[in-house]
Structure 1
């Protein structure tokens, strides 16, 4: 399989790499023409590992060249992968996994090219939801090459005898046949170069037969240490059982290699000299078709998440990663709000599809697996030493994703608010939009501009539905000389409609009463250090700078494990004994034992200083700060909203840069006797009692938004907004074989791994920031609420804030409330509503968080002409029954599915 492993950077600055990849496609076309009359097996064929390479090339070539390329694809000379590039799929959002395939869908429809195959290279693991997304576009085959790079241990965690070819099935029933190239001692996708295929016939003649013999007899063909990375002898893997083999090779031994005639010449000479084995320059599609025909009935089937062993590296960019995650949330809000405007009889954003695509492009390029140069610490202008130049390009993707998503959401709100008329008796009115699929009580934050009400004047905020005055809190504008002049008012809006809005009206008042902070001198200490509402009582320990107790008042249970290695929301800081001075691949070459030789220090926070304790119209709030090794300071804000079953935790960290190898954690030890812990991952759920691919990492993972802990009939949910990396039960030392460094293992403890600089290539080796890491802890609002509903509601509180814009409608009619959706099963999440391909069609994207098949009914606030089951991208399947404004859909376990809705008239 001749391909170029496409790193966006690593070997050269990104612009250079991208230009070279365009050139490779030109060369591939030329070589296909050159060898057209050669023996069939040796004709040049090319595998475009990243579909993005073709899409980019297509933009820079004339139509005649594009037509010729498409002909070569259809003739079997060039293979296209459905995936745009190689990603850390664990950091993708669920909708993003599907949006990754939008370009394949376009090419399918525009050129008549069906996609059966996808490739993923380098990254050792793919997330649970990927096969569902691939299946929707018709992909049946997935070719992966897992580069263990000394930082992966699947062979010691259940995958020793996982065959190279197997069927990967999701709980929803979709599946792909996987070819996996792997080795604890090899470079996986460099298999061809390793045995001479980038050198010459003589080298292949010596090395390739030995490779085949080794593969057939011991499964892992290479001995330990042969490529410089550490590795123990891996015995016990069965030999390769089949007589058709997939072998990757490049133009040279290295990433971003060119297309070369060399391989076809070598294959021709081999086949002239040997009757067996026969070599064929091939495409992934051709291999899989033959392999399935021969051995499809013999393949084992495995199910579940196949986590990414390298995802730990994303902790090296805590701030741009958080910006990208905020963009992932905002883009779904934006598309849903734009469709809300269209459903109400107004106009959705005419450019919504383009804006959405631009956001997803930036988000996904940030999630692309190349996070830096080969020597990421360098400051040159070319080659492996262009580290800083490459990193600026990469960070720019995360910043662009964040900016584009927020602008898109603002644009959508402007269109929605343009059709909502203000209350004529008020100074101004605001539209408070809930883009989630659940009714909710939520904090709404709006800017009362000086242009409307003087800064020293009082005001009131009324619920437009009832005229009730809503108690509010006020905060001054930040950086006031350089931003819109006004004050930020916060109110609690009860029963905010699902996929809907409430109008809020602002009027002048004689006074503007704002609660004062409690006196830090005269208030009893026990009152200052405790927060309490109808659902929770929270207590802080100043000495450990952590939360000492969280009592769920409905049940009386203590949520904090007092016997844990660290307090709740306690800061832990590790330093490691490996060099931080920029030694390429050093972390990949080091290993440890259970003696934890490389753990140099572990420290906790110093005692804290209480900064603020407030009980205002919105919440009880407690602020304290502390110093610690590894940070200048951490300021902790605890927010317990009145009437809310959720505690919000904001850790604002000020950190300087260092070359010392380090990790920072916040600990969340939950008390549970017999915990069942589930993790939301992109496109699915994993954890206790849920199957996963053998060898998937269990010591750490990237979660999407939440972790749930069930204990008998009790439940608690933990949510992370900004930092996806978690370790559960224990902190693993981040060097192979990743031994636990805390004891005993606490199954219900979650460690948020919010930053590290462990890698010595590809990822940055230092970072500094002042940034806030937000978490939430949620319990049931009532006894009948499901665990999944608690998770969805808790995540919405911190990840999907209510969007606000001034009402600018010009009609006399006043609309104070609209609700556009109701889902009768609280375990089903509305991911987003997006515009379909045809006018008047919307795609309602859903995700089930339950491991059983269910029937869900959606009631809409508009009249419906018809409904169809659909893919996330809009390919319609079978029709769904419509009963008035109700549509039912059957969802398989953990399924992602959409409803294509043809609307009739606007909401009443």
Structure 2
């Protein structure tokens, strides 16, 4: 047991982008808080225990302040940080597990702006969210941060250790950060601290001290107490708590402190042996909220795919030089771009997409009354603003991607291209935004009337053009389809509800678990068993909680409700059917297998009318592995659930990035979800609140949507959308690097467009990235004159990479070492390429006539 000798009262405001107020308003108010804090520091100055000290919980408002404030006000902030009156922290916002490693890069890389202004950062602080991606450890250490405060919310989840506690969190690379697993920040209001209710505050803090001193597992002589709550405007009322406490308890004094000062004291008071080390993913119990708004989460994920492709294509165009793009005179998504942005605008627009993605990936889904008052104007306004982050990102990212593809097609030449022949059928142009040659299915829309799938082989950072495939022969079967095509023999059965058998003919293995009551690709509806008296139904939705396991659920697969349609082409076979989930309109499932690749595509078009009350919808993938091993992709890492997980983190459900590997000792499947991040593994687990994961089967259940929430998540489930999946059987157990690559490829797919524009080149672009290890690459323009090549190592082994350009006026070779599980950047200067090239200096942005016109350029 410890003797508590010091108490540190840490003033901050919990940063919600919304909740108490619309995101449109509260985001700007947080920036105004910076000035208010500086004024309070002046009003309550000095070095005494009751001086005003403050911690900014996240970096976003400080970044905005530094960008917008006068030099004098920035100097005030720097001075207060240097004297220890204010701490800055390094987390951009309180993030969910939605953002990818690339998005988190943006957030952590932005901290250099604060350091350039003379500000110091050592710590990240995270509140409310009950988990954080394992790759955060490496991200933090790369950003110069080595301490993390996690103030977990006690609702709908468990902490990995008793709150409060400290431990060393070891990342996938072996690097560590110190974690202070704090009490929930909300005690600041609950205990009267921030409102100056000194009698209540002193009583409750005294109870905390007694609890800590009674614990055998608390090796610290200090306590950190939060003076905070949601979006609270800073006041100095909590200083009265310090004064009263010190009058009553001079033997164990309290002082205001920044987070950094409190952590320094805590670390100093405990020997290294007393602080445990834990390794693994911090899987978030609250991630079930990602299924509360399935449509918008899918839009967000598509937007980030667009922006990654756009960054690659526009970077390649900068390297190759702009050519005569075919412009349209109609602004619309089926037309070519109406103009080409200059590089500075490209960088600015990519940055704007990043900001919108991060704002959507932040943890505040709705207002405080979204669940209790779902029809209030505040609830609707708040969600309109939150969803607007996803749609705003999608709008700009898609526009950049269309422009980038057209500019890449035209790049590297100054010759006038032939006129577009509108009488000829379109061809399919496919580009590869990544560093390896890829053979994959792509889908294109043809003349706004139909969609076509085909397989393309595209060189690394290259381009190819393919003819449209024939339309194929269509037949229908009323009860059953048995067919053999490409690598597979399959059976789709009306009685079985869908795909009931899928045999990989390369080794004769049955991939579908035939002992399960639902088919592969089946829509499964989960509902609370009638007559349930579970307290989440009779008392409060907060009682969907580990302390109240359950309720019991019924899970009913959709029944097939249409004939089975089979479309056969020489290169692909598509099987389609409708099935009717209980209580829903028919869903349409499309399965496609190919001649030239073992990849399999499955899509489910779901129509979901608005409904209230607890429910879930899954798409089931019952893979037949009796003793399965899973690998899951999180931001910055691939991990084994259960083995690579912090204790008591979520094992009922997981929020993945894009990919999963599942298999046994002989073979496996790589699986990806384009649109929906939530999965349950081995079985259905909703309401189990399991402390261990012991999967008996290789089932992956894609948890599309659920309504198991309270407070700020949506109270209803609704939305119409197609949810897309791809899986690839492999002849060996999946490896971490394979899962990382499969996930990257799902997140940055080949880009395809059916078009009649001339294509002046095919093949490689002139940029190549090769390595002696497992390295993935991202391209992006970062200034008017520079393209960044970002390299990531995914297997845990240091790798040597070569970045080579072989272009007219731009030839170079750069060698770089990429550390294990780390990253390295190569920046290519394109000024010489721009000055020496014979191509245009500016682009004419005012086309004179019809869509598809070939526009010359002006100098």
TM-score by length of 2: 0.84
Distance verdict in 2 for CA 1:445–1:668, change over 3 Å: closer
Using the TM superposition, give the Cα deviation of residue 600 of structure 1 relative to its aligned residue in structure 2, in angstroms.
5.3
Q: Does 1:796 align with 2:745?
A: yes
Q: Give the distance between the partners of 2:798 and 2:223, measured in 1 at CA.
A: 41
Q: Give the distance between the partners of 1:295 and 1:744, measured in 2 at CA.
A: 36
Distance verdict in 2 for CA 1:579–1:417, change over 3 Å: farther
**After the TM superposition, which residues 888-903 of structure 1 pair with which residues of structure 2 at under 5 Å, given as runs?**
889-892=817-820, 895-902=821-828
Using the TM superposition, give the Cα deviation of residue 59 of structure 1 relative to its aligned residue in structure 2, in angstroms.
6.0
Using the TM superposition, give the Cα deviation of residue 416 of structure 1 relative to its aligned residue in structure 2, in angstroms.
1.8
Using the TM superposition, give the Cα deviation of residue 62 of structure 1 relative to its aligned residue in structure 2, in angstroms.
4.3
3-state SS, counterpart of residue 353 of structure 2: helix
**After the TM superposition, which residues 807-886 of structure 1 pair with which residues of structure 2 at under 5 Å, given as runs?**
816-818=763-765, 820-824=767-771, 827-830=774-777, 832-836=778-782, 839-848=785-794, 850=795, 852-858=796-802, 860-862=804-806, 885=813
Using the TM superposition, give the Cα deviation of residue 102 of structure 1 relative to its aligned residue in structure 2, in angstroms.
3.4
Q: Which runs of 5+ in 1 are unaligned?
A: 183-187, 219-237, 448-474, 479-486, 507-511, 867-881
Task: Indicate conservation of the 8 Å contact 1:423/1:814, yes or no.
Answer: no
3-state SS, counterpart of residue 390 of structure 1: helix
Which residue does the alignment assign to 2:41? 32
Using the TM superposition, give the Cα deviation of residue 746 of structure 1 relative to its aligned residue in structure 2, in angstroms.
2.8
Which residue does the alignment assign to 1:376? 370
Q: Give the distance between the partners of 2:758 and 2:539, measured in 1 at CA.
A: 60
Deviation sequence 1:430-458 (CA, Å, 0-9, x none): 753101222112345567xxxxxxxxxxx
Task: Indicate conservation of the 8 Å contact 1:574/1:599, yes or no.
Answer: no
Q: Give the distance between the partners of 1:244 and 1:213, measured in 2 at CA.
A: 12
Q: Does 1:571 align with 2:549?
A: no
Q: 1:364 aligns with which of 355, 358, 374?
A: 358
3-state SS, counterpart of residue 519 of structure 1: strand
Q: Does 1:539 align with 2:531?
A: no
Task: Indicate conservation of the 8 Å contact 2:680/2:701, yes or no.
Answer: yes
Q: 1:70 aligns with which of 73, 78, 88?
A: 78
Using the TM superposition, give the Cα deviation of residue 563 of structure 1 relative to its aligned residue in structure 2, in angstroms.
1.4
Q: Give the distance between the partners of 1:386 and 1:376, measured in 2 at CA.
A: 8
Which residue does the alignment assign to 2:541? 587
Using the TM superposition, give the Cα deviation of residue 244 of structure 1 relative to its aligned residue in structure 2, in angstroms.
2.0
Q: Does 1:47 align with 2:72?
A: no
Which residue does the alignment assign to 2:815? 887
Q: Does 1:174 align with 2:102?
A: no
Distance verdict in 2 for CA 1:420–1:541, change over 3 Å: farther
Distance verdict in 2 for CA 1:116–1:296, change over 3 Å: farther
Which residue does the alignment assign to 1:145? 151
Using the TM superposition, give the Cα deviation of residue 745 of structure 1 relative to its aligned residue in structure 2, in angstroms.
4.8
Q: Give the distance between the partners of 1:525 and 1:576, measured in 2 at CA.
A: 32
Q: Give the distance between the partners of 2:373 and 2:112, measured in 1 at CA.
A: 39
Q: 1:493 aligns with which of 423, 432, 456?
A: 456
Task: Indicate conservation of the 8 Å contact 2:603/2:722, yes or no.
Answer: yes
Distance verdict in 2 for CA 1:514–1:377, change over 3 Å: same
Q: Give the distance between the partners of 1:784 and 1:7, measured in 2 at CA.
A: 42
Distance verdict in 2 for CA 1:380–1:702, change over 3 Å: closer
Using the TM superposition, give the Cα deviation of residue 134 of structure 1 relative to its aligned residue in structure 2, in angstroms.
1.5
Task: Indicate conservation of the 8 Å contact 1:168/1:302, yes or no.
Answer: yes
Using the TM superposition, give the Cα deviation of residue 297 of structure 1 relative to its aligned residue in structure 2, in angstroms.
2.5
Deviation sequence 1:668-707 (CA, Å, 0-9, x none): 1111243221111111112158422222211211011111
Using the TM superposition, give the Cα deviation of residue 410 of structure 1 relative to its aligned residue in structure 2, in angstroms.
1.8
Which residue does the alignment assign to 1:223? none
TM-score by length of 1: 0.80
Which residue does the alignment assign to 2:849? none
Q: 2:440 aligns with which of 439, 442, 449?
A: 442
3-state SS, counterpart of residue 577 of structure 2: strand
Q: 1:190 aligns with which of 186, 193, 197?
A: 186
3-state SS, counterpart of residue 506 of structure 2: coil
Which residue does the alignment assign to 1:209? 206
Deviation sequence 1:768-787 (CA, Å, 0-9, x none): 1111111112023x789967
Q: Does 1:290 align with 2:236?
A: no
Distance verdict in 2 for CA 1:807–1:822, change over 3 Å: farther
Distance verdict in 2 for CA 1:15–1:788, change over 3 Å: closer
Using the TM superposition, give the Cα deviation of residue 356 of structure 1 relative to its aligned residue in structure 2, in angstroms.
1.7
Q: Give the distance between the partners of 1:293 and 1:595, measured in 2 at CA.
A: 40
3-state SS, counterpart of residue 116 of structure 1: strand
Instruction: Pick which of 419-428 and 24-33 moved more.
Output: 419-428
Q: Give the distance between the partners of 1:178 and 1:789, measured in 2 at CA.
A: 31
3-state SS, counterpart of residue 779 of structure 1: strand
Q: How many residues align?
A: 797
Which residue does the alignment assign to 1:119? 125
Q: Give the distance between the partners of 1:548 and 1:244, measured in 2 at CA.
A: 60
Distance verdict in 2 for CA 1:590–1:93, change over 3 Å: closer
Deviation sequence 1:59-100 (CA, Å, 0-9, x none): 665443343233322332222121121111x11111111112
Using the TM superposition, give the Cα deviation of residue 766 of structure 1 relative to its aligned residue in structure 2, in angstroms.
0.6
Q: 1:729 aligns with which of 682, 700, 723?
A: 682
Q: Does 1:276 align with 2:251?
A: yes
Which residue does the alignment assign to 1:415? 407
Q: Give the distance between the partners of 1:62 and 1:689, measured in 2 at CA.
A: 51
Which residue does the alignment assign to 2:710? 760
**After the TM superposition, which residues 547-696 of structure 1 pair with which residues of structure 2 at under 5 Å, given as runs?**
547-576=499-528, 586-590=540-544, 596=550, 598-599=551-552, 601-687=554-640, 690-696=643-649
Q: Does 1:520 align with 2:473?
A: no
Distance verdict in 2 for CA 1:674–1:821, change over 3 Å: farther
Deviation sequence 1:336-390 (CA, Å, 0-9, x none): 11221123245983323212211111111111111011121466999xx721111
3-state SS, counterpart of residue 645 of structure 1: coil
Q: Give the distance between the partners of 2:190 and 2:715, measured in 1 at CA.
A: 29
Instruction: Pick which of 644-653 and 605-614 moved more.
Output: 605-614
Task: Indicate conservation of the 8 Å contact 2:541/2:709, yes or no.
Answer: yes
Which residue does the alignment assign to 2:101? 94
Which residue does the alignment assign to 2:3? none
Q: Which runs of 5+ in 2 are unaligned?
A: 1-9, 324-341, 838-859
Q: Give the distance between the partners of 1:33 and 1:738, measured in 2 at CA.
A: 51
3-state SS, counterpart of residue 354 of structure 2: helix
Deviation sequence 1:252-311 (CA, Å, 0-9, x none): xx4222211112233134335533222121111222233334436343222221111100
Deviation sequence 1:14-66 (CA, Å, 0-9, x none): 234335434433332221101213x5221101111122222344566544334
Which residue does the alignment assign to 2:448? 477
Q: 2:393 aligns with which of 401, 404, 415?
A: 401
Which residue does the alignment assign to 2:222? 244
Q: Give the distance between the partners of 1:328 and 1:584, measured in 2 at CA.
A: 41
Distance verdict in 2 for CA 1:656–1:281, change over 3 Å: same
Using the TM superposition, give the Cα deviation of residue 137 of structure 1 relative to its aligned residue in structure 2, in angstroms.
1.5
3-state SS, counterpart of residue 75 of structure 2: helix
Distance verdict in 2 for CA 1:585–1:888, change over 3 Å: farther
Q: Give the distance between the partners of 2:51 and 2:37, measured in 1 at CA.
A: 11
Which residue does the alignment assign to 2:346? 352
Q: 2:311 aligns with which of 325, 331, 335?
A: 335
Q: 1:749 aligns with which of 671, 682, 699?
A: 699
Q: Give the distance between the partners of 2:397 and 2:359, measured in 1 at CA.
A: 14
Q: Give the distance between the partners of 2:487 and 2:193, measured in 1 at CA.
A: 66
Deviation sequence 1:797-819 (CA, Å, 0-9, x none): 68513244869799xx8555436
Distance verdict in 2 for CA 1:799–1:890, change over 3 Å: closer
Q: Give the distance between the partners of 2:806 and 2:556, measured in 1 at CA.
A: 57
Which residue does the alignment assign to 2:134? 128
3-state SS, counterpart of residue 350 of structure 1: helix
Q: Give the distance between the partners of 1:147 and 1:491, measured in 2 at CA.
A: 47
3-state SS, counterpart of residue 78 of structure 2: helix
Which residue does the alignment assign to 1:79? 87
